[in-house]
Homo-oligomer: A and B are copies of this chain.
Amino acid sequence: MRMSELSAKSGVPIATIKYYLREGLLPQGRQLAATRAEYDESHLRRLRLIRALLEVGRLPVAAIKQVVAAVDDESLPLHTMLGTAHYALSPAVEHEHTEEWASALQAVDRLIAARGWHITPGAPARAELAQTVVRMRHLGLPVDLHPYAEAVDRLVKEVEMDKIPFDAPRDTAVEALVLGTVLYGRALDALRRLAQESESARRLGVSPPPAPDASAATAPPA
């Protein structure tokens, strides 16, 4: 297809497609003449991936370049390629070199071992969790994260990973991983807040609303 058709099908403006071509995010089309190139399904798929990384993952262009390079390097095993995308989605955490940090990292590693998880030492989520543990300890909060680890472990094993099409083209698998990680993560967070509101109402006796025949008056829902 011509660039105008690629633009129409993907919803990405021509000027933006040209920018992606210049930046090397999108592979060049097959050159038909000096000013004519031909694009195919792989270009459409790549545009979808770039938009997902940009709009849903909110990745900077430099990070998108790294992910796209990993997708294109077919010598990389699938797990490494997906890991590159997954790691790019994580906020950067500055490693500290304090006793507190070392102790928090030990606690995180004990948790990982207790669940039997297979995690590379450089996983950004490992450092992120250690930083959160440091913060919790500063504030005197209890750091029993086992129930949290168990809850997400079940969710990931029984539901989430079934959505990743591991045998689809590499672009498609990465896209599913990025969308899944970010959007279901946002949904999970919103659902947790809803559950908190509901349970807080229940414990404080403002829910459920009194049935019409209820004799005891309860506080109205806030």
User: A residues engaging B (CB < 8 A)?
Assistant: 52, 56, 77-80, 82-83, 86, 90, 112, 115-120, 123-126, 128-129, 132-133, 135-136, 139, 141-142, 145, 147-149, 151-161, 163-164, 166, 179-181, 183-204, 206-209, 219, 221-222
Selected from B187, B204, B208, the residue in CB contact (under 8 A) with A129 is: B187
A79 and B206 contact, CB distance less than 8 A: yes
A203 and B135 contact, CB distance less than 8 A: no
The smallest C-beta distance from A183 to any residue of chain B, in angstroms, reads 6
Q: 9 A-B contacts, Cβ less than 8 Å apart?
A: A56-B139, A83-B200, A90-B193, A117-B198, A120-B221, A148-B184, A148-B191, A149-B195, A161-B196
Chain B contacts for A195, CB-based, 8 A? 115, 117, 149, 152-153, 155-157
A82 and B200 contact, CB distance less than 8 A: yes
The smallest C-beta distance from A100 to any residue of chain B, in angstroms, reads 15
The secondary structure that dominates the A interface is helix
The smallest C-beta distance from A131 to any residue of chain B, in angstroms, reads 9
The smallest C-beta distance from A2 to any residue of chain B, in angstroms, reads 25
Chain B contacts for A116, CB-based, 8 A? 198
B164 and A200 contact, CB distance less than 8 A: yes
B156 and A192 contact, CB distance less than 8 A: yes
B77 and A204 contact, CB distance less than 8 A: yes
A192 and B198 contact, CB distance less than 8 A: no
Given contacts A115-B195, A120-B221, A139-B179, list 12 more A-B pairs with CB under 8 A: A83-B200, A83-B222, A90-B193, A117-B195, A118-B209, A119-B198, A125-B190, A132-B187, A141-B180, A151-B151, A156-B196, A188-B188
Chain B contacts for A186, CB-based, 8 A? 128, 132
User: Bound complex: CA of A90 vs CA of B200, how far in Å?
Assistant: 17
With contact pairs A79-B201, A148-B155 given, residues A136 and B183 touching in the complex (Cβ less than 8 Å): yes
Selected from B117, B184, B192, the residue in CB contact (under 8 A) with A155 is: B192
| A93: nearest chain-B partner, CB-CB | B190
B147 and A158 contact, CB distance less than 8 A: yes
